[in-house]
Amino acid sequence: MKYVLIKDDVGQIKIIDNTHYLGKKKVESLISEGGELVGFLESELAPNILLRGFNQKTNDILEERRERIRLAINELNRD
């Protein structure tokens, strides 16, 4: 599949499959709202799987920080 990459007005990049009517409308809508076409991506993977892979390192860091916060809260609640 070939995806369209659009950077929205807050800087987040959206991966959109525009091979169907709804995808084309989504691209048009994002661009009319100030989005910027940043490129195309060809892949056999679904957009959600692509995003998960792109964000894996960030997700791992956030999960580690959540765990550290959880442990700190548990220690504070022991008193």
Structural domain span for residue 77: 46-79
What is the pLDDT averaged over residues 40-62? 88
User: How far is residue 15's CA from residue 73's CA, in Å, rounded to a whole number?
Assistant: 37
Tell whether 79 and 53 lie within a shared domain: yes
Tell whether 28 and 65 lie within a shared domain: no
Tell whether 40 and 72 lie within a shared domain: no
What is the pLDDT averaged over residues 9-31? 92
What are the DSSP E strand ranges found in the chain?
Answer: 2-7, 13-17, 36-42
Tell whether 28 and 54 lie within a shared domain: no
Tell whether 54 and 79 lie within a shared domain: yes
User: How far is residue 17's CA from residue 50's CA, in Å, rounded to a whole number?
Assistant: 12
Cβ proximity of 13 and 6 under 8 Å: yes
Tell whether 7 and 30 lie within a shared domain: yes
Q: Looking at residue 79, what is its pLDDT?
A: 64
Tell whether 59 and 27 lie within a shared domain: no
What is the pLDDT averaged over residues 53-60? 85
Tell whether 21 and 59 lie within a shared domain: no
* pTM assigned to the model: 0.67
